[in-house]
Structure 1
Amino acid sequence: MIWMRLLKLFVATFMLEKIKNMFCLICNNNKAIKYVLNIRPNNIQEKAKYFYINNHNIVYNTSKKNAIKKKKLLFLLSKTFHCLANRRQTIPFHVLKSNNNNTPKNSLFLFDHNFSKLKLCSPNYLGATRSFNSIFLNKMEGGEDKHKSNCNNEMINEETNDTSEQNDRIQSCILKKKANFTTDFNDEKANKIQRIDPNCDEHEIKENIPNNGCNNDLKKNNIFTIEELEEMRKNSNYVKIDDTENNGFSIELYFDYKELKLLRKKDEPLSSLKNRLILNLNKLYQKQSKQLNSIKNKNANKTIDGNVKSEKEKENTTIVKFYDKENNIIDENTILKDVIDKLNYLVIDEHKISIYKNVYDLKKIYVSMDVYANHQIIPVHLPLGEMENYIYYWVDTNEKNVLNSCDIFYKPTNDDISKHIQLVIYDKKNPIFFHFTEEMEVKSNPFEEQIRIKEQRYSDFRPQSNQHDNNAKNTLRILSYNILAPIYTNTKYALEYMFKNIDPCYLKTNYRSHLLIGEISHDFDIISLQEVSEHLHTNLFYVYLYENYYSSYKPKSPSGNDGCSLFVNKKKFTLLEYENCEFNTVVRSPELKNIYDIFIKLSDDLDEIIKEIKTVYQIGIFMHNNSQNIFIIANTHLYFHSLAQHIRVMQTYCILHILEKIKDKYKEKYKNKEIYVILNGDFNANFESEVFSFMEGSDVMENSKLWENGKLFKKEYDDLDKYPTLFNIDNNSTDQKINGPYLNRKKFLPLYSAYKKVDIPYTNWNNNFIDVLDYIFLSPELKVKRLLKGVDKHLFGQYKGIVTPFNPSDHLSIAAEIEL
């Protein structure tokens, strides 16, 4: 027996000397580790040959008088590799016993040499989770290790000797080595980064969503290039399991440079999955064998007798087993949905394959907006809430080792113009899960000068106080903005009439997106947006504001083409609840029945018209973190029809009714706290309208001329240029007296407009119509400190409206800075 072992050692030594190559480790049972020869190093390993430590010994304890035999070992590395390839064609040449009875199959161990012994350290102490885990060892200098180990009692013995004291010593040893770990390899990677974002402090990477520069020292972080990530994935073995929409599982197996994709039902047994894997693997081996035979026949230029069979065909069997976290084999008769959470890894023959469940699909990430210098890029479908688990950076596609920025919302510079860039993102723990977006060209916006001129309105509206002083904590910055929904930009009426003076390419969402982001990027605490499509809310504003704002979206209809978005600063407020509602529901409520019954008598079809109106009231209730007072923050967009003042005044009555109810509810709940109201939106009414007067405190009487509109109103009449005399009350007057409901304003909470007529000349301009339609209404206790100014009309003159290549909407944003 001993002669056989010595013969194996001799053969192993001979192979090591003759074949200078990379070695991997696998376990052939729960106690024995065997070295196996890899066919070839991959590209990453080939480039890092000088890190291989090739002067170490395999130490073999014969267990007879503690005699020790030493042989050369070429496996140990001094850099980190993830998921090293585990080729099926490898041949074992030496077996050593492990001290760890619970060693999982194919688990990689760290061997440390101190010139007299070889120690075994479990990967569990390294926090390893992969089938082939990271290897840490200091680079040799002058033939000796930088740091010699003090772990002198952990030898690889043929006899089991597993004690908790021994494990404690091993763990202590590894923790010390981790603390002292340094490699020149990281220095080399850092040197490859030729240009760092100027906002980065000491070349650090910040791995979270805010718009900051890089925050972790590159020398302490292995940032993999695209080439390295692709090589890693190609040489990795793993299983990925995801839920599907059809009550099933999507299963992907990457093994031995092969890829299998399966769809399985949740209620089928595990054995069904196993049998399908075996069947498909055998098919792949048969196909591979035929291809090899074909190549050999062609190279030899002659016929070979019989087929050259693969190793797998000779064995004519594939063994597949599933294991849980305790390394127990899982019963194959178990139903998939009942066992999916227990699956930890599977073993194909003697190869351990890690299982990953419901991993975020990074392939969903893309950039839909046009990319312009000096404007931030907002990627779509980021793994929000989990960004700290990922490394991400932007590169020039022509210089993939040149780091442009490690900010997820990169703002290209003028130096980037005409270059092609892309976002790279990968999982920190499992870099085999990565994605890089399609390359995108950085353009120069030819209207940058007009954008700069328009932005001058913010010169007197920038934050003044230090955010940490008490005045700043009691100061709130509020924005209200109708952004122009995409659905209203591509109709025939829009292109031929409303926006006829602008090239249609500037109406597209992918162009307007970078301008919209610029409008909301001025340190606002409350952002109320109208005419927001669900796509823009979810894939632009929500992504950009996710980290620091509460977010709510209320669509007008299930299609999500138009709606309201509300964003509130998490640092200044705590969300209590949302109470969103619809106008056509509130107006029919029992509490308003008397008012509504009188209102619908104005015309025969008014009730049907009201049913079709999709106006929404978006309402959030928050507690102010500094004062602990309650804020009711509301956002709305009243009915657009130019001839429907009677409907809009009813809509204002309804929202005031709802706000009053919410205020009473919270007054009862928080008796000692102040209740404040902020109501923002597009009211489609000017300063002279009865809607505005009603909002600021005036009643609407029964005999108001406002109600005569209701008698004559038809939904299709929306263009006064086409119907100039339609609503001339004198021409359409009758002897019949028209009365509507009496709307008592004083029964509701008082509000006032932050803007007065002298403060801003217009917020909406479209062809022949120009006026103020947007407002911020406040409780009297909230005092206005500053207002955002308007824009000189001359800037938009040639377009005869404010939808231009440098303004993305037919409205101007309005903003107020208020103080408690």
Structure 2
Amino acid sequence: MDEFIKVFRGDIFYARKNQKYVLLGMQQEIPFHILKLNNNNTNTQRNILFLFYHNFSKLKLCSQNYPGATRSFNFILLNKMDDWEDKYRSNRNNEIPNEEANNISENNDKIQSCTLKKKVNFITDFNDEKENKIQRIYPNYDGHEIKQNTSGNGCNSDFKKNIIFTLKELEEMRKNSNYVKIDDTENNEFSIELYFDYKELKLLRKKDEPLSSLKNRLILNLNKLYQKQSKKLNSMQNKNANKIIDDNLKSGKEKENTTIAKFYDKENNIIDENCILKDIIDKLNYLVIDEYKIYIYINLYDLKKIYVSMDVYANHQIIPVHLPLGKMEDYIYYWVDSNDKNVLNSCDIFYKPTNADISKRIQLVIYDKKKPIFFHVTEEIEVKFHPFEEQLKIKEQRYSDFLAQSNQYDNNNNNTLRILSYNILAPIYTNTKYATEYMFKNINPCYLKTSYRSHLLIGEINHDFDIISLQEVSEYLHKNLFYVYLYENYYSSYKPKSPYGNDGCSLFVSKKKFNLIEYENCEFNTIVRNPELKNIYDIFIKLSDDLDEIIKEIKTVYQIGIFMHNTSQNIFIIANTHLYFHSLAQHIRVIQVYCILHILEKIKNKYKNKYKNKEIYVILNGDFNTNFESEVFSFVQGDDIMENSKLWENSKLFKKEYDDLNKYPTLFNIENNSNDQKINGLYLNRKNFLPLYSAYKKVDIPYTNWNNNFIDVLDYIFLSPELKVKRVLKGMDKHLFDQYKGVVSPFNPSDHLSIAAEIEL
């Protein structure tokens, strides 16, 4: 005996493949929207004409309702998607009689635009649908099949399993759909949008008001729209006596008196209208206005937030902003030529335009896989030719040489790790008067903009690194560039120097190589006051009268992640930092190093006790603002700092610059300064802490930072002795940057060069 399914106009159904018959020859589940129900009542039964809309065609299904039943399908298997997820099926025998199968046909006439409430008899000149096995062809605006740009990245295999709706289809689908969308706001309100009968309502309702208030407001606003529509149609009829106007649509007054709205929960029970909105918001499933069922969607991801903020160039990847990360598998996305939406450029969310795309304007289309009526199209963006492509090729050769050696031997070696450290130059340091008039005076300011530098920054990190340590990262760049691009394959952590997020450290670690245990991020000006370091700090602050106040203002952070290596099961403590910059602040930097070594030693001992049979390794990356000849570098490598060290004299020479943005290091050697006063400082015993060594030797790289008159090595990768360096990323020919008198240039996004090392356990 058949099991009947109650349906409403506006319901969504999915046609599913049958053992004997495939509806319309489709090979996958296809959504159909019920547009019309025609009832022919008799004494014994009621025949219903179901009119479905899909793919610019009509599909007529004839069905019988037996006495006592509501509405049903009883000759073809259809899966009803209740709230798009809960499935119901008619238990009809798989055999479909020929005479019933012949009722399944496609309307060859062009579908006419009409509202769901029009009582207009559709033309029923249908042709029998023949079973076909060909793959679906997606029509575009002109009815042609959608083409793929073979010069682009193409679509991956996952997307080939899904139906890709064209933009025209998505627009038609949304236009013919009824739904309610409810979202939280920052205030004590819900933002509510109703799309019904080609009408759109938007309103705000207090969270503590009753459901009846929302219902009454919806009815009132709908009736106002119907009255407005009625007046418009009457005016049209008066102007054209021969024009046929639907009586039902003209009757605004009648509609106002008959509109009924009820809210249902997920168990199909009517919700008490006296309930407070905030108490029942998660229970709302659908709304029925008269006989029209309208699904309710709560707090869906707002696809309208997605946009492209970066300048777009051929052969450089595009990183859209505000993607629904963590749920990308729930969406279909592709890039189209905005002038010819028939061309599908790519199904890669991070599309890399080709030379064939130059001068074209492209757009990203993204929609919910289960709810395709929710879609978004980004604004048009022009693909530009990169005027510095030749210089970029020279710069890229640096990475190619590094990776060529690596790939030849270690492509499948899980005990080999690639590490990158890079000070990317925070945007806040590029837009000051001092920056544009002195530090970066030799480069056009347009090349200092974040929108321009973004594609270059992605190019720096896009070389299969297992550990990426970045310094001078703004919160915006972390969240909207690096985090987005690396989300799928990397653990991510951001530690800002201040609540404003203008500058901080980012750490990304490969999920393929490691498993995250925990993060232990901390601040220098907190650690240095730790009771365990009291003896050291008490002596240190006596070097200068205002040193304690200066330390309070220094925002250096220590970013530390603890990971388990997936292959060896050993523990890795990976740290990232950016030490204080001032040229005469060597005494501060050595205390900063002392503090981070103290923290790393504590963490190592903690995990050594916890995992007694595992090796504990340390990797310390960052911008240390110190060169190979400095005592700070020697201290990290293992040398002690003596009480009579010349770096303690800096405490008298050093004058705190309160505007850090307007100063830049010019020297690291205090011997150039005259000071006859001898100062006794601290004795710092390096043997108290774990040993480390630099992956780079002085001969490996001539400089990592160059700006005007200052050029030197400031960036390092320090390793536990058990980790062996196989190769390092070499430097770059200084002459490439001569005209800019620094490495900040249209083809290098920072005043630093990146450094990298490949190591082996």
> What is the correspondence of 1:802-817 to structure 2 with a 5 Å cutoff?
802-817=743-758
Change beyond 3 A, Cα 1:471–1:363: closer
Alignment match, 1:193:
146
Alignment match, 1:484:
425
Change beyond 3 A, Cα 1:27–1:711: closer
Matched, 1:502 2:470: no
TM superposition shift of 1:810: 0.4
Matched, 1:238 2:189: no
Deviation digits for residues 388-435 of structure 1 (CA, Å, limit 9, x no counterpart): 111100011111011111100000000100111110001111111000
> What is the correspondence of 1:496-575 to structure 2 with a 5 Å cutoff?
496-575=437-516
> What is the correspondence of 1:737-816 to structure 2 with a 5 Å cutoff?
737-816=678-757
Query: 2:331 touches 2:369 (CA, 8 Å); kept in 1?
Result: yes
Out of 601, 604, 620, the position equivalent to 1:663 is 604
Q: What is the alpha-carbon distance in structure 2 between the residues aligned to residue 484 and residue 725 of structure 1?
A: 21
Amino acid at match of 1:318: T
Deviates more, 1:320-329 or 1:409-418: 320-329
Amino acid at match of 2:350: F
User: What number of residue pairs does the alignment pair up?
Assistant: 692
TM superposition shift of 1:732: 2.7
Residue aligned with 1:654, SS: helix
Residue aligned with 1:473, SS: coil
TM superposition shift of 1:285: 1.6
Alignment match, 2:371:
430
TM superposition shift of 1:295: 2.8
Amino acid at match of 2:693: Y
Change beyond 3 A, Cα 1:727–1:779: closer
Alignment match, 1:277:
218
Q: What is the alpha-carbon distance in structure 2 between the residues aligned to residue 722 and residue 626 of structure 1?
A: 43
Matched, 1:617 2:555: no
Change beyond 3 A, Cα 1:132–1:183: farther
Decide which structure has the larger Cα Rg and report it.
1
Query: 1:131 touches 1:354 (CA, 8 Å); kept in 2?
Result: no
Q: What is the alpha-carbon distance in structure 2 between the residues aligned to residue 197 and residue 793 of structure 1?
A: 40
> What is the correspondence of 1:130-169 to structure 2 with a 5 Å cutoff?
145=101
Alignment match, 2:112:
none
TM superposition shift of 1:729: 7.1
Alignment match, 2:75:
119
Matched, 1:414 2:355: yes
Out of 65, 68, 72, the position equivalent to 1:97 is 65
TM superposition shift of 1:662: 0.3
> What is the correspondence of 1:390-405 to structure 2 with a 5 Å cutoff?
390-405=331-346
Residue aligned with 1:461, SS: helix
Deviation digits for residues 13-50 of structure 1 (CA, Å, limit 9, x no counterpart): xxxxxxxxxxxx9659x9xxxxxxxxxxxxxxxxxxxx
> What is the correspondence of 1:674-713 to structure 2 with a 5 Å cutoff?
674-713=615-654
TM-score, length basis structure 1: 0.78
Q: What is the alpha-carbon distance in structure 2 between the residues aligned to residue 613 and residue 747 of structure 1?
A: 25
Query: 1:803 touches 1:809 (CA, 8 Å); kept in 2?
Result: yes
Change beyond 3 A, Cα 1:427–1:463: farther
Out of 675, 686, 706, the position equivalent to 1:732 is 675
TM superposition shift of 1:98: 5.6
Change beyond 3 A, Cα 1:383–1:650: same
Out of 506, 518, 523, the position equivalent to 1:582 is 523
Query: 1:555 touches 1:563 (CA, 8 Å); kept in 2?
Result: yes
Deviates more, 1:389-398 or 1:309-318: 309-318
Alignment match, 1:603:
544
Q: What is the alpha-carbon distance in structure 2 between the residues aligned to residue 544 and residue 435 of structure 1?
A: 20
Q: What is the alpha-carbon distance in structure 2 between the residues aligned to residue 100 and residue 121 of structure 1?
A: 21
Matched, 1:341 2:297: no
Query: 1:285 touches 1:313 (CA, 8 Å); kept in 2?
Result: no
Query: 1:312 touches 1:318 (CA, 8 Å); kept in 2?
Result: no
Out of 638, 647, 655, the position equivalent to 1:714 is 655
Q: What is the alpha-carbon distance in structure 1 between the residues aligned to residue 410 and residue 458 of structure 2?
A: 28
Amino acid at match of 1:332: E
TM superposition shift of 1:194: 2.5
Q: What is the alpha-carbon distance in structure 1 between the residues aligned to residue 380 and residue 664 of structure 2?
A: 48
Change beyond 3 A, Cα 1:127–1:606: closer
Deviation digits for residues 710-751 of structure 1 (CA, Å, limit 9, x no counterpart): 0221013999999999966773323xx411121110100000
Query: 2:425 touches 2:473 (CA, 8 Å); kept in 1?
Result: yes
Q: What is the alpha-carbon distance in structure 2 between the residues aligned to residue 725 and residue 420 of structure 1?
A: 50
TM superposition shift of 1:297: 3.3
TM superposition shift of 1:225: 1.6
TM superposition shift of 1:265: 1.9
Amino acid at match of 2:511: K
Query: 1:466 touches 1:472 (CA, 8 Å); kept in 2?
Result: no
Q: What is the alpha-carbon distance in structure 1 between the residues aligned to residue 459 and residue 434 of structure 2?
A: 28
Change beyond 3 A, Cα 1:497–1:314: closer
Q: What is the alpha-carbon distance in structure 2 between the residues aligned to residue 133 and residue 196 of structure 1?
A: 40
Q: What is the alpha-carbon distance in structure 1 between the residues aligned to residue 638 and residue 583 of structure 2?
A: 23
Amino acid at match of 1:341: D
Amino acid at match of 1:97: N
Amino acid at match of 2:550: I
Deviation digits for residues 257-280 of structure 1 (CA, Å, limit 9, x no counterpart): 111112122222111111111121
Change beyond 3 A, Cα 1:724–1:246: closer
Query: 1:131 touches 1:353 (CA, 8 Å); kept in 2?
Result: no
Unpaired runs of at least 5, structure 2: 1-5, 12-31, 105-130, 243-247
Q: What is the alpha-carbon distance in structure 1 between the residues aligned to residue 53 and residue 176 of structure 2?
A: 19
Deviation digits for residues 345-393 of structure 1 (CA, Å, limit 9, x no counterpart): 0101111101111111000000000000000000000001111111100
Deviation digits for residues 134-168 of structure 1 (CA, Å, limit 9, x no counterpart): 9xxx9x9x9995999xxxxxxxxxxxxxxxxxxxx
Change beyond 3 A, Cα 1:593–1:81: farther
Query: 1:473 touches 1:626 (CA, 8 Å); kept in 2?
Result: yes
TM superposition shift of 1:124: 3.5
Query: 2:226 touches 2:255 (CA, 8 Å); kept in 1?
Result: no
Q: What is the alpha-carbon distance in structure 1 between the residues aligned to residue 672 and residue 710 of structure 2?
A: 21
Change beyond 3 A, Cα 1:346–1:464: farther
Residue aligned with 1:781, SS: coil
Amino acid at match of 2:286: Y
Q: CA RMSD in A?
A: 3.8
Query: 2:584 touches 2:668 (CA, 8 Å); kept in 1?
Result: no
Alignment match, 1:374:
315
Change beyond 3 A, Cα 1:266–1:731: same
Percent identity of paired positions between Structure 1 and Structure 2: 76
Q: What is the alpha-carbon distance in structure 2 between the residues aligned to residue 77 and residue 260 of structure 1?
A: 25
Query: 1:248 touches 1:266 (CA, 8 Å); kept in 2?
Result: yes
Q: What is the alpha-carbon distance in structure 1 between the residues aligned to residue 138 and residue 668 of structure 2?
A: 80
Q: What is the alpha-carbon distance in structure 1 between the residues aligned to residue 727 and residue 476 of structure 2?
A: 33
Matched, 1:296 2:249: no
Alignment match, 2:122:
none
Q: What is the alpha-carbon distance in structure 2 between the residues aligned to residue 492 and residue 125 of structure 1?
A: 60
Residue aligned with 1:250, SS: strand
Change beyond 3 A, Cα 1:460–1:193: same
Change beyond 3 A, Cα 1:239–1:622: same
Deviates more, 1:461-470 or 1:493-502: 461-470
Query: 2:80 touches 2:87 (CA, 8 Å); kept in 1?
Result: no
Deviation digits for residues 460-493 of structure 1 (CA, Å, limit 9, x no counterpart): 2116677998961000000000000000001111
Deviation digits for residues 487-517 of structure 1 (CA, Å, limit 9, x no counterpart): 0001111101111110000000000000000
TM superposition shift of 1:296: 2.9
Amino acid at match of 2:676: S
Matched, 1:386 2:354: no
Deviation digits for residues 436-461 of structure 1 (CA, Å, limit 9, x no counterpart): 10011100111000000011112221
TM superposition shift of 1:227: 1.8
